[in-house]
Amino acid sequence: MLGETQLPVTALIGRKRPWNDTDAASYEEASDGTPKEQASMAMEIAASPTTRDEEKQEDEGMAVPACKTMGEQPPTEIGSSIVSNVEEEEEEVIEIPMWDSDDDGEVMLKARAELEELHIACVERITEMDPKKKLLVPTRFCSFNIAGFDLDKESKFGLGPPLDSNITPELGRYFASSAVNVISVKVIESDRGYPISVYGTVLARDRIDYRCVYLFRRGREDPQMISSKDDMLTLTGPRRALVPPAYIYFEFNLRVKGDASDEDFSKGVIELHVYRPNPKPITDVLSSWLSRVELVLAPVEGPVAASLEVEILKGAPPFIGKICAGTSENPETQMIVYDSRGMKSGCSSVALSRNLVAVPDPDDDEDEIVVHVRFLDDDDDVDDEDAGTLVSIAYPAEEKVCSHGAWELQVNVAWTAILIKPRAKYIMKRGMSMPRAFTYPRYEPHF
């Protein structure tokens, strides 16, 4: 099982990272029981941490997602980067992030023919007739062999270690080369008109572990009212950065609440190949069941994470208006993290609906790592670059005070690394055991 060999690494965390592979430790991985000609390839990939240079080669080669339905586990706040004190050296020690592969078990040790049959059975269970397309489509991930893979398991991977000074080559190998910010999710067409009450889930899966990272999750008793095609779903995630390269998958399972009965509203998967050289926002649309839902992402090169808090220093709470945050002053890269029309505020703090922004770490030492936060009034246009009060915070600063209307506000930032993991032990076998003759309307195998 990948993760049995965990090497503690002296943490000298910081902005600029060395990328000397020869200085990094070697990593060993046990055989996964694949056929001989596949096992050497799988072990080589599993045994070697993926660097930024290696990720560039991976863009053209691989993509991966998932299927089974049982067993949710609550996420951890910090994830796999565990910090402890070493008394003898009085230095921080951080464990190298490892893949959580505890549901591969005995399933992936089966013969290829049996794995193919299990995969087909699993895909058939998640396939439904889409009345809009008039096609049978899988409504969940199934782009690699999903036998034994728990579709409902939530990602445990969390934030990386804090940024500080420099870092060792060993941990530097695990810094992500790119990430994406989810700017918005909108219902741009509704066969039931507007207003509508929507509930259900929108989640993402990425190369970190292909587990559920929730963006939107509401029960029937707590639906969101959508009044027009311009309204955005109030996103509450992701709670960690979403990491390419290659494909990121967005799974929709939304229902519309009715007086007599509820209806399936949006079901299916958007798979996006994130091209790192293109810094412009990426837009895609899922047309299914009773709706067309638009997803907008903003790619980020060489990312670190900025976790935000906003405190009210002066003025009567709650804060009335909107708060946006992003990688630049351009509204296209900014996402709404607070809207007083649908949020509640504490006595001295503003309860952001989501607080994590991936921001670029420029290669040039003279350029800064900056997160931009914008405060708007209720009637301000979020697309107007000149509207509101803009606050820009550059690393290593951790707070900044500004005035907006009747309020004096303090923005606090925690700067942390964004890490990746080595590939899972069975990841190559999952790709190689896809049934070649088995096709379905939405997806094609990527191996």
Confidence (pLDDT) at 92: 58
Confidence (pLDDT) at 43: 31
Q: How far is CA 139 from the centre of its chain?
A: 19
Annotated domain spans of the chain: 8-157+420-432, 302-417
Confidence (pLDDT) at 48: 36
Q: Which residue, chain included where needed, has tokens 């109030």? A: 234
Tens of pLDDT, residue by residue over 253-277, are: 999 999 889 999 999 999 998 876 6
Confidence (pLDDT) at 169: 79
Phi, then psi, of 54 in degrees rounded to 5: -70, -30
Confidence (pLDDT) at 4: 33
Give the CA diameter of the chain: 69
Confidence (pLDDT) at 443: 41
Burial class (CB in 10 A: 0-12, 13-18, 19+), 173: buried
Helix, strand or coil for residue 81? coil
Confidence (pLDDT) at 346: 56
Tens of pLDDT, residue by residue over 167-177, are: 677 888 889 99
Read off the pTM.
0.80
| 302-417 is classed CATH 1.10.10 | no
Confidence (pLDDT) at 93: 61
pLDDT in tens, the chain (447 residues): 333 333 333 334 455 443 333 333 333 233 333 333 333 333 333 333 343 444 444 433 333 333 443 333 344 333 433 333 434 444 556 666 776 655 666 888 899 999 999 999 999 999 999 999 999 999 999 988 999 999 999 998 988 888 875 667 788 888 999 999 999 999 999 999 999 999 999 999 998 888 999 999 999 999 999 999 999 999 999 999 999 878 899 999 999 999 889 999 999 999 998 876 677 899 999 999 999 999 999 999 999 999 999 999 999 888 999 999 999 999 999 999 999 986 655 567 899 999 999 999 988 877 899 999 999 999 999 999 899 999 999 999 999 999 999 999 999 999 999 999 877 778 788 888 888 766 544 443 343
**270-273, Cβ contacts within 8 angstroms, sequence gap of 24 or more:** 270/295, 271/63, 271/65, 271/143, 271/247, 271/443, 272/247, 272/248, 272/297, 273/59, 273/63, 273/246, 273/247
Cα radius of gyration rounded to whole Å, the chain: 22
Q: Which residue, chain included where needed, has tokens 């008394």? A: 87
CA angle 293, 297, 303 (to 5 degrees): 155
Q: Which residue, chain included where needed, has tokens 């899966």? A: 205
